[in-house]
């Protein structure tokens, strides 16, 4: 596993770096926010549980190799924090750049842990949000 070089002073810093890297499609920057641990977990909308740093990395690599550039707007719903853990619940409005008017809402939970090298992501769980009443369900793939 590579050594993360960035120091994140807060869970909010990790989250900002994560979503900026997703929009750029930058695999190295996405992985720099993750804890280098076999206990990390990632669940993409509509997929199963992915465990371990190498498997999480491979899942993001496959997503980025498709070439689609994402535009992601987030809205923080709640935060639970203690000195070593933070849990953020948020909504992600995800669109493929160039496909205006076509977006999906993802309900996400991000779990961050603080260690000797600062804060890191330990869990990212995204699930498709149920459609609003009267809205036609959309799929992003």
CATH ID of 11-128, from 3.90.1580.10, 3.50.40.10, 3.10.450.50, 2.60.40.3500: 3.10.450.50
Residue 14 confidence (pLDDT) above 80: yes
Query: What does the pLDDT read at residue 99?
Result: 61
Residue 105 confidence (pLDDT) above 90: yes
Domain residue spans of the chain = 11-128
Q: 3-state SS string over the chain?
A: CCCCCCCECCHHHHHHHHHHHHHHCCHHHHHHCECCCCCCEEECCCCCEEECHHHHHHHHHHHHHCCCCEEEEEEEEEEEECCCEEEEEEEEEEEECCCCCCEEEEEEEEEEEEECCEEEEEEEEEEECCCCCCCCCCCCC
Chain segment 23-82, per-residue pLDDT in tens? 999 999 999 999 988 999 999 998 999 999 999 999 999 999 987 788 899 999 999 999
Mean predicted lDDT score pLDDT of the chain: 89
């Amino acid at each position: 596993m590579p050594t993360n070089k960035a120091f994140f002073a807060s869970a909010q810093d990790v989250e900002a770096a994560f979503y900026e890297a997703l929009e750029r499609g930058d695999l190295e920057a996405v992985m720099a926010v993750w804890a280098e641990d076999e206990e990390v977990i990632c669940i993409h909308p509509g997929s199963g549980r992915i465990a371990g740093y190498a498997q999480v990395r491979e899942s993001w690599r496959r997503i980025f190799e498709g070439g689609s550039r994402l535009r992601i707007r987030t809205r923080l719903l709640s935060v639970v924090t203690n000195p070593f853990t933070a849990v953020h619940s948020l909504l992600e409005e995800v669109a493929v750049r160039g496909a205006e008017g076509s977006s999906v809402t993802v309900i996400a939970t991000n779990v961050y842990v603080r260690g000797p090298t600062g804060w890191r992501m330990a869990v990212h769980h995204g699930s498709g949000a149920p459609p609003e009443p009267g809205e036609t369900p959309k799929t992003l793939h």
